[in-house]
A = this chain, B = another copy of it.
Amino acid sequence: VPSPDLTQDEWALWDVWMTAQRLVAREADRRLMREVGISKTEFSVLVTLRRASAPELRVGELTEALGWEKSRVSHQLTRMEQRGLVRRVEGGAPGRRTGVALTDAGRESVDDAVRRHAGTVRAVFLDLMDDDQQAVLREWAERVETLLGDDEA
């Protein structure tokens, strides 16, 4: 078993990574909220519903598409229902389970949001890397997803 101790450089890398990750997420969230009035979490849900082939999805389908934990999805839907962005529908989708659909307000927000959020993703993420860095990051992220993902509660 190798010693678990880290060098100063390794601790520093972990720290700067954690910080950078939080700053990017925060900045993306701020801009989206300022420009479109929705959070990046709400954005994810709206986009998933908008892109779906059916007008409504079962909660389980939405959860699968997002890759989130199911309780996270449920809480998120509750908040978004209160804000009038989505609507829960009984027995609409196949299998008689709870369905989720965009409201008119939700549909109105999302298309504009896609365009604006793209600018944000460029500004706080893509524009800060060259192609080689993008490739490295992609490779690393896919590896993480393989190893740690598919483990949702």
Contact = CB atoms under 8 A, between A and B. Distances in A.
A144 B149 CA distance: 26
Given A14-B125, A121-B14, A140 B145 contact: no
B13 A118 contact: no
B148 A13 contact: no
Interface string A122-151: 101110110011101111111111011100
A145 B16 contact: yes
Contacts of A24: 144, 148
A52 interface: no
Interface stretch (A2-10, A78-86, A89-97): A2-10
Contact of A18 (B25, B129, B136): B25
One complex includes copies of this chain to the number of: 2
A116 B4 CA distance: 7
A10 B126 contact: yes
A16 B142 contact: yes
Contacts of A132: 136
A116 B133 CA distance: 31
A115 interface: yes
Contacts of A11: 121
In the complex, the 8 A-B pairs of residues with the closest C-beta atoms, listed nearest first: A20-B141, A4-B119, A20-B144, A23-B148, A16-B141, A136-B136, A4-B118, A6-B118
Interface of A: 4-6, 10-11, 13-14, 16-21, 23-27, 67, 115-116, 118-119, 121-122, 124-126, 128-129, 132-134, 136-145, 147-149
